[in-house]
């Protein structure tokens, strides 16, 4: 979910009536990474979403939390984020610690915690907006879209040395966005029905006016002045948080943020996806591919749709060569190409997990199997809860 609390700069500017300026890009160590996960809070009595985030946050506040935990727009969601890491081992260890803490707290409150991009049968109209001014504002602006946006994503941040590096990476990654959609897809059901999509979640994101892709600008100064300031001047945006792009720069953290992933069913997959992005960024920064062009985006929405609809069985159109590529094959080829980078970053195990998943199927496949095996929608949630708790 993209509704973050407002930035200090934006709020201050709003107070004075002046158009807010984009804050300078804070350089950070290249290729560091951090993960945010939006998680579902489920009643263990009936497996429906439950407005339990105030109670969970209250209980979690009693002891130090490994990482960070915050409320999200509806009370049936919770967001966690890791610290900044350099490698797979430490990221995974922290995510596991966070998971165990959440599961323990949930057990005391009859609340199940799980991943998955959507809840299979929750009704959006029953969701409840978290009592926070920003969330209420958003709810008033977007109406039912805000409650319909009870979907759960994983965001991955990658550290960049400069704004220019961030924009280069952001656009160079455009051709790989479908990989992340297909590998993380875990939202085949929505509002009680099979959507026939592998990731139905991203369709909810498209309803928002400032979603999609970032404008094709490769220099930070140009981005700040030619784009952001003009947009701010229209009064539509106050900070970067108002853009719900698939990939967006995050100047205050000195990162780019990938936002297309469904929350996977396990923290192991979440860590693996983050490390895949990290290795890919290392590969791209070494100049192994032709520079991105604006025309790359001609096929962007189509490729994105293929990944959402068919997942690993989708077909891509290469943005520059315009050849058709089976998505699964393209992922496997990329994984092989990234092996030396993964070795240098110490994330071989992460890529191995994705390699296996490319063969066995995504979380969406797993959830459909759970439904077929048992025939009930509750069984899908039950399977997701078990996978989150047990891992892998």
Partner 1 sequence: MTDPYVSLAQLAWPLALVLSWMAGEILFRWTGLPRISIYGLAGFAFGNLAKGFAAPTDDNAFLLLANLGFGLILFELGYRINLRWLRANPWIVATSLAESSLTFVAVVLVAQAFRMPALAASLLAALAMASSPAGLVRVFNEQQAGGQVTERALHLSALNCVLAVFAYNAIVGIGVFQTSGNLGHAAAASLLVLGASALLGSVAGMLVPRWLRGMGRAGSSGGDATMTFALAVLLLVAVTHVLHLSPVLAALSFGLVARHRRSALGVAQRNFGALGDLLSVMLFVYAASTLDWQHVWAGLGLGTLLVIVRLTVKVGVCAAFARVSGISVRKGALSGLALAPMGVFAVLLIEQTRRLGVDLFHSLAPLAAIALLLQLAGPLISQRAVIAANETPYDKEA
Backbone angles phi, psi at 315, to 5 degrees: -125, 135
Q: Which residues contact 235 (CB under 8 A, 6 or more apart)?
A: 19
Q: Is 108 exposed, middle or buried (0-12, 13-18, 19+ CB in 10 A)?
A: exposed
Angstrom CA distances, 204 to 146, 188, 233, 276, 327, stand at: 10, 13, 28, 25, 23
Residue 288 as a binder of partner 1 (CB under 8 A): the answer is no
Tokens of 11: 């709020």
Residue 63 as a binder of partner 1 (CB under 8 A): the answer is no
Residue 335 as a binder of partner 1 (CB under 8 A): the answer is no
* Least distance between partner 1 and beta carbon 51 (Å): 4
Give helix then strand counts, H and E, for the chain.
17, 13
**Residues 203-222, interacting with partner 1 (CB under 8 A):** none
* Least distance between partner 1 and beta carbon 384 (Å): 14
d(CA 201, CA 204): 6
**Residues 107-136, interacting with partner 1 (CB under 8 A):** 107-110, 121, 126, 128-129, 131
* Least distance between partner 1 and beta carbon 240 (Å): 28
* Least distance between partner 1 and beta carbon 192 (Å): 8
**Residue 66 vs 120, nearer CB to partner 1:** 120
* Least distance between partner 1 and beta carbon 122 (Å): 11
The correct pick among 243, 245, 371, 388 for binding partner 1 (CB under 8 A) is 371
Residue 369 as a binder of partner 1 (CB under 8 A): the answer is no
* Least distance between partner 1 and beta carbon 84 (Å): 31
Residue 137 as a binder of partner 1 (CB under 8 A): the answer is no
Angstrom CA distances, 45 to 8, 48, 111, 115, stand at: 40, 8, 8, 18
Could you tell me the end-to-end alpha-carbon distance of the chain, in angstroms, rounded to an integer? 24
Q: Which residues contact 21 (CB under 8 A, 6 or more apart)?
A: 9, 13, 224, 228, 229, 232
The correct pick among 58, 137, 294, 339 for binding partner 1 (CB under 8 A) is 58
d(CA 214, CA 64): 37
Candidates 163, 192, 354; CA nearest to 261 is 354
**Residue 352 vs 374, nearer CB to partner 1:** 374
d(CA 134, CA 125): 20
**CA-based angle 248:249:253, to the nearest 5?**
130
Stretch that binds partner 1, among 38-46, 240-248, 309-317, 347-355 (CB under 8 A): 38-46
* Least distance between partner 1 and beta carbon 49 (Å): 9
d(CA 248, CA 210): 12
The correct pick among 5, 29, 45, 301 for binding partner 1 (CB under 8 A) is 45
Residue 43 as a binder of partner 1 (CB under 8 A): the answer is yes
Residue 59 as a binder of partner 1 (CB under 8 A): the answer is yes
Q: 43-46 contacts: CB < 8 A, separation 24 or more?
A: 43/110, 43/111, 43/112, 44/106, 44/110, 44/111, 44/112, 44/385, 45/110, 46/378
The correct pick among 55, 242, 246, 330 for binding partner 1 (CB under 8 A) is 55
Judging by DSSP bridges, how do beta strands 255-262 and 315-317 pair with one another? unpaired
The correct pick among 51, 89, 361, 391 for binding partner 1 (CB under 8 A) is 51
Site string for partner 1, 154-193 (x = CB under 8 A): --------------------------------------x-
* Least distance between partner 1 and beta carbon 387 (Å): 16
Q: How many residues bind partner 1 (CB under 8 A)?
A: 32
* Least distance between partner 1 and beta carbon 195 (Å): 15
The correct pick among 57, 378, 389, 391 for binding partner 1 (CB under 8 A) is 378
Helical axes 348-360 vs 88-109, angle rounded to 10°: 60
* Least distance between partner 1 and beta carbon 150 (Å): 14
Residue 44 as a binder of partner 1 (CB under 8 A): the answer is yes
Contact 112, 105 (CB under 8 A): no
Binding residues for partner 1, per CB under 8 A? 43-48, 50-52, 54-55, 58-59, 105, 107-110, 121, 126, 128-129, 131, 192, 371, 374-379, 382
């Amino acid at each position: 979910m993209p509704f973050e609390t407002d930035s200090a700069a934006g709020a201050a500017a709003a107070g004075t009536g002046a158009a807010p300026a984009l804050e300078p890009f804070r350089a950070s160590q290249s290729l560091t990474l951090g993960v945010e996960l939006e998680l579902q809070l489920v009643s263990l009595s009936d497996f429906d979403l439950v407005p339990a985030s105030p109670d969970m946050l209250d209980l979690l506040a009693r002891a130090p939390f490994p990482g960070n935990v915050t409320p999200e727009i509806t009370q049936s969601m919770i967001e966690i984020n890791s610290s900044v890491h350099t490698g797979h081992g430490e990221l995974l260890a922290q995510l596991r610690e966070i998971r165990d803490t959440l599961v323990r707290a949930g057990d005391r409150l009859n609340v199940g915690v799980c991943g998955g991009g959507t809840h299979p049968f929750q009704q959006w109209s029953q969701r409840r907006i978290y009592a926070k001014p920003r969330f209420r504002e958003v709810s008033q602006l977007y109406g039912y879209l805000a409650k319909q946006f009870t979907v759960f994503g994983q965001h991955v941040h990658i550290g960049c040395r400069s704004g220019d590096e961030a924009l280069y990476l952001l656009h160079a990654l455009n051709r790989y966005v479908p990989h992340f959609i297909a590998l993380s897809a875990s939202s085949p059901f929505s509002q009680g029905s099979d959507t026939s999509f592998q990731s139905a979640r991203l369709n909810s994101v498209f309803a928002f006016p400032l979603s999609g892709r970032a404008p094709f600008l490769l220099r930070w100064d140009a981005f700040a002045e030619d784009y952001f300031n003009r947009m701010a001047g229209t009064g539509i945006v106050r900070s970067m948080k108002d853009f719900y792009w698939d990939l967006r720069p995050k100047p205050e953290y000195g990162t780019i943020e990938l936002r297309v992933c469904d929350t996977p069913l396990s923290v192991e997959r979440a860590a693996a996806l983050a490390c895949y992005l990290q290795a890919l960024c290392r590969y791209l920064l070494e100049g192994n591919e032709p520079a991105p062009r604006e025309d790359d985006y001609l096929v962007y929405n189509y490729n994105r749709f293929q990944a959402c609809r068919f997942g690993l069985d989708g077909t891509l159109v290469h943005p520059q060569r315009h050849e058709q590529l089976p998505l699964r094959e393209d992922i496997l080829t990329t994984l092989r190409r990234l092996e030396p980078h993964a070795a240098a970053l110490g994330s071989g195990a992460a890529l191995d997990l994705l390699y296996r998943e490319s063969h066995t199927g995504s979380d969406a496949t797993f959830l459909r199997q759970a439904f077929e095996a048992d025939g009930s929608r509750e069984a899908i949630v039950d399977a997701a809860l078990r996978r989150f708790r047990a891992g892998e």
